[in-house]
């Protein structure tokens, strides 16, 4: 009896350990079940879409996105679009789940980047995920850049919305003003999009080139006869250097004859010369009048001196009589 008691106590101890182990397993299983019951309604539909599309996104990755403040709908939609477009989206590829999450957390537009990559791929334009992300984080619209590469963009020069002017004013060597309105066709240069100058620089350079070309023409008639001389001269200067665009063409939309600036300047100069001459003549007349007045004053002074001298003669004679000198 006494020998069986220790064996019974050991058996009861083992039984208690197994109960604790089973209780711990039950608690963990309950927590897992409760977690699944909570997360399945939230992420189940997204995971099923990703699974059916072979987007390579696990259910636990979707739960982790929620804790990292990443919108899982955007990531799932982006990867589904990439898969449907024929891109590799595994964890070792460019368009992986981690890289999409990193771009989202960096403040980038994930859908814009994916749409741009797909559009570039369809147009056979070399645009990788890294370059698209860099362009997007630099503040440029990467999708609009790809569209502009496929379909060139037309820019008015000058742009009324930016400068408030509708035409450029330039003067030929004969003094005639020409008012020109041009349209510049550009397409995006993806290689220089980061750090390249914007549309404002292109418009400014084209405007400067047009004014310089017209100013170097001997006569405005030459420009009116051959407007393409302006565009050829402007295109030959390489105005798209260090810009985010490539100039395809420069077209003269409208050209009008303005004022005869040379004649007006000559008339203004003649009027100014006349005013100067009048001022000089008035100055000389004033000097002559002043000199005349000075001479009159001098004559009056001499007359006064003569009168004083004549008045001294009787006094001198009287003095001579008194002294007996006569």
Domain shared by 49 and 119, yes or no: yes
Does residue 322 lie within any of the structural domains?
no
**pTM score:** 0.61
pLDDT confidence of residue 284? 86
Does residue 90 lie within any of the structural domains?
yes
Domain shared by 128 and 228, yes or no: no
User: Could you say which of 263, 284, 299 is where a domain stops?
Assistant: 263
User: Cβ distance 132 to 99 under 8 Å?
Assistant: no
Does residue 124 lie within any of the structural domains?
yes
- The CATH number for 164's domain is 3.30.479.30
Domain shared by 26 and 125, yes or no: yes
User: Cβ distance 174 to 266 under 8 Å?
Assistant: no
- Name which of 226, 238, 223 is nearest 168 in CA terms: 223
**Measured torsion, CA atoms of residues 212, 214, 215, 218, in degrees rounded to the nearest 10:** 140
User: Could you say which of 263, 286, 304 is where a domain stops?
Assistant: 263
Domain shared by 25 and 99, yes or no: yes
Encode pLDDT of 31-74 as tens digits. 656 555 555 666 778 788 888 888 888 888 888 888 888 888 88
**Number of neighbours of residue 167 by Cβ within 10 angstroms:** 18
Does residue 246 lie within any of the structural domains?
yes
pLDDT confidence of residue 41? 61
Q: Exposed, middle or buried by CB within 10 Å (0-12, 13-18, 19+), for 223?
A: buried
Domain shared by 131 and 195, yes or no: no
Domain shared by 165 and 246, yes or no: yes
Tokens representing 15 are 């039984």
Q: What are phi and psi of 3, to 5 degrees?
A: -75, -30
Tokens representing 203 are 């418009």
Does residue 238 lie within any of the structural domains?
yes
Does residue 294 lie within any of the structural domains?
no
Does residue 184 lie within any of the structural domains?
yes
Domain ranges, residue 82: 20-148
- pLDDT < 50: residue spans in the chain: 1-2, 4-5, 7-12, 15
Domain shared by 144 and 183, yes or no: no
Q: Which residues contact 231 (CB under 8 A, 6 or more apart)?
A: 182, 249, 250, 251, 252
Encode pLDDT of 178-203 as tens digits. 888 888 888 888 777 777 777 788 88
Domain shared by 221 and 133, yes or no: no
Tell me the CB-side half-sphere exposure of residue 76, using CA atoms within 13 A. 22
pLDDT confidence of residue 10? 47
Q: What is the Cα–Cα distance from 243 to 206, expressed in whole angstroms?
A: 13
Domain shared by 176 and 125, yes or no: no
Domain shared by 226 and 106, yes or no: no
User: Could you say which of 240, 263, 286 is where a domain stops?
Assistant: 263
pLDDT confidence of residue 8? 40
Domain count for the chain, please give it: 2
User: Cβ distance 220 to 174 under 8 Å?
Assistant: yes
Tokens representing 304 are 């006064």
Q: What is the Cα–Cα distance from 190 to 147, expressed in whole angstroms?
A: 11
Does residue 278 lie within any of the structural domains?
no
Q: What is the Cα–Cα distance from 136 to 99, expressed in whole angstroms?
A: 14
Give a three-class secondary structure readout of 303-323. Answer: HHHHHHHHHHHHHHHHHHHHH
The CA distances from residue 150 to 21, 123, 196, 296, 321, in Å, are 66, 7, 19, 93, 130
pLDDT confidence of residue 1? 46
Tokens representing 84 are 């449907």
Domain shared by 117 and 44, yes or no: yes
Looking at residue 177, what DSSP letter applies? E
Helix, strand, coil percentages (3-state) for the chain, rounded to 5, are 65, 10, 25
pLDDT confidence of residue 326? 60
**Measured torsion, CA atoms of residues 154, 160, 166, 171, in degrees rounded to the nearest 10:** -90
Domain shared by 142 and 176, yes or no: no
């Amino acid at each position: 009896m006494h020998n069986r008691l220790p064996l019974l106590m050991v058996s009861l101890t083992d039984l208690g350990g197994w109960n604790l182990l089973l209780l711990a397993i039950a608690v963990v299983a309950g927590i897992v079940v409760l977690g699944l019951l909570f997360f399945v309604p939230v992420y189940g539909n997204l995971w099923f879409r990703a699974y059916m599309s072979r987007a390579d996104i696990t259910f636990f990755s979707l739960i982790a996105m929620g804790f990292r403040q990443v919108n899982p709908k955007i990531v799932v939609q982006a990867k589904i679009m990439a898969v449907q477009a024929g891109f590799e989206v595994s964890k070792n590829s460019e368009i992986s789940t981690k890289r999409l999450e990193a771009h989202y957390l960096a403040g980038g537009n994930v859908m814009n980047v994916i749409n741009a990559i797909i559009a570039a791929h369809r147009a056979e334009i070399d645009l990788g995920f890294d370059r698209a992300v860099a362009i997007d984080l630099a503040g440029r619209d990467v999708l609009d850049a790809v569209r502009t590469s496929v379909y060139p963009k037309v820019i008015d020069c000058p742009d009324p919305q930016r400068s408030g002017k509708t035409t450029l004013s330039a003067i030929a060597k004969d003094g005639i003003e020409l008012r020109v309105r041009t349209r510049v066709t550009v397409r995006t240069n993806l290689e220089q999009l980061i750090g390249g100058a914007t549309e404002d620089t292109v418009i400014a350079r084209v405007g400067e080139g047009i004014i310089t070309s017209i100013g170097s023409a001997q006569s405005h008639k030459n420009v009116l006869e051959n407007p393409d001389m302006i565009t050829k001269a402007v295109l030959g200067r390489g105005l798209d250097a260090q810009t985010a665009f490539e100039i395809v063409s420069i077209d003269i939309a409208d050209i009008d004859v303005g004022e005869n600036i040379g004649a007006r300047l000559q008339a203004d100069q003649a009027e100014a010369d006349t005013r100067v001459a009048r001022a000089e003549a008035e100055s000389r007349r004033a000097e002559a009048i002043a000199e005349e007045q000075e001479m009159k004053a001098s004559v009056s002074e001499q007359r006064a001196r003569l009168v004083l001298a004549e008045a001294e003669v009787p006094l001198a004679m009287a003095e001579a009589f008194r002294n007996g000198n006569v």
